[in-house]
């Protein structure tokens, strides 16, 4: 997981956000632990990409359907004004 995280982080730091997204997309295909998903979501939120963050969350709750995952998603929706979803 550290390799993927550092690879995505490096791409983001050099300004290649699209490249970082591609890396995260490849990484989450392996169904990694929660921290990979939350790192991807946080990156999208740093760029005010709420819809992209929501799309990642929607995949996250499908792949890891734990109560804690759903709670994170609900808090995200509550914060972003769409808690009725």
- For 11-68, write each residue's pLDDT tens digit: 999 999 999 999 999 999 999 999 999 999 999 999 999 999 999 999 999 999 999 9
CB 7 within 8 A of CB 23: yes
Q: Return the closest-CA partner of residue 17 out of 5, 8, 26, 28.
A: 8
DSSP H or E stretch at residue 4:
helix 2-13
**Residue 39: how many other CB atoms lie within 10 Å:** 19
Dihedral in degrees, nearest 10, Cα atoms 5, 7, 10, 16: -110
Question: DSSP state, 26?
Answer: H
């Amino acid at each position: 997981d550290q390799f993927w995280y550092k690879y995505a982080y490096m791409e983001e730091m050099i300004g290649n956000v699209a490249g970082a997204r591609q890396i995260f997309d490849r990484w989450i295909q392996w169904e990694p632990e929660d921290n990979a998903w939350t790192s991807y979501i946080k990156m999208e939120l740093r760029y005010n990409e709420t819809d992209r963050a929501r799309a990642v969350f929607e995949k996250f709750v499908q792949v890891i359907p734990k109560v804690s995952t759903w709670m994170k998603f609900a808090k995200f929706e509550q914060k972003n004004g769409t808690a009725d979803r």
